[in-house]
Structure 1
């Protein structure tokens, strides 16, 4: 039996895979490629026979893209925009769908974006056939506009993100990254900007814990803000690692707690991938009640504590005071199954 043809379109398939959207697109491509006949179109990618790196305008309105899609004639077209649900993303999807009118079009967006009122009205006419998101807010917007929408969890690479086989390795990892071996380490991964609410971690540092922030790659527009924020946090004793770490799972593994302090809705994807990765590594989590975390994970076997930033210290200490607690049991593996089942049902 012939495999179903799937075309994945996104802006980035190239490394580094150090933030949630790029990681999810890459993992989706790799896994689709195992089951279906897959082609990908992107602006930036890596060399592989079924990946087309195309120079094009902002809206993907190009003869080359039309030629690739027409020649491949996919059964399913998946558009997964890096900028998520901007108005331009809806326009791109419409253009791509017109290139492939016989395809089942799927739109995947990981966070809501603010639209002007006239743009919201036009979305009703640009609407995708099927839309997937982890974001409750975006799902609600789509429902309101008559879009066939489903809420999905996100993927975690469980072959990489897993607990240490030997807890004694924790000190070795701290030595590798030049971090204090006996400190109570609270880590955070993500963009170094004001929207991440990183200043709320300062009281944890002042209390005597060691906060470590691993910064994702940033755009040139973020550079000034990143520099100022980095200086502020470092003055308080917070350690900032702003280089690419190839084995990022090791930072989760050496940590005592992972913290996710984001409150502002558009400052992270609708289900923070770092929380899933931390839990997959057996690291307990303190987090704001962000996006669909509680919907899909609940308290993940009493290993996630939901808190407001004002109560972070109390939440952290409540985990620290649990003697001999085992945080390795997690529901994260079931989320992968839910994600792929949803995608496969739509393709098959």
Structure 2
């Protein structure tokens, strides 16, 4: 398709922004497809092995940093931001301070964001079609080799925080990102200046010291990576530090001063489901695979599968106070699971309680 064929209204950016707001996006920006600086940083990060076993980070070659290689004829990127902080959740600090509760990252307490954002982005693209001739586009949300955060920064939606999340003065960092790659020649937005200053709160709080330098995350140490992306046993060096975090980690966001300005989301889809903000570890641990799939239908958590779910909770139970209910649950799953990874994790966790309880050793 020849881009010169597009007859483009002069106020197209403004129209797209207005429609985006009506569709529930909190900010909309526009950028070119030049990600040269990002490509250099990504190459270095991959060479250091910081992506761990996220092989997909490396396998797409330059498609991740050259949008026109991923979607031919791409000229511009529309970038959107949608707040997700649920208005009805248990205070996250309270959840972290209750070692018998399973802590789940705030973004995963409601409906799977991939579905919510993709549907809205599709509506936005359909709206644009009313104003221009047929145009080429493809929508993304954390779903392909797309450098979402650097794109959002170029589109003026925020700046890159030292924890490698995008930050905004009026929304903090509790938001999802999405993109539309398009062959429309749109006017790029102005990037905004960064406002982290000398603050290192996110680096200092990280339980596993995963932020190895400002703006550099070693995913292999990151609790979100270890509990969600990592397939095998969780390295023993990090088990104590993980505490009761069973799916993701928000510590670097919880301490960020800019999150004082975060807005809760009016989206009913992001409201807490199944009381996931306050459930006991033992209760979650004893869900069968069938229950796991049923209770977490439409949730991003289902992506990790029942085995990783049990692995994570078994670990957290090793960090929980020694109680009969905890020991019995670990024993029960240890003897009934067919997963070597879950069994090994149960054994480690039972051993953590040995000093306070004379339970048999497991080998």
- Asked if Structure 1 and Structure 2 have the same fold, meaning a TM-score greater than 0.5 normalized by the shorter chain, the answer is no
TM-score range, shorter chain: under 0.3
Structure with the bigger RCO (C-alpha within 8 Å, sep 6+) is 2
TM-score w.r.t. the length of structure 2 is: 0.24
TM-score w.r.t. the length of structure 1 is: 0.24
More strand by share: 1
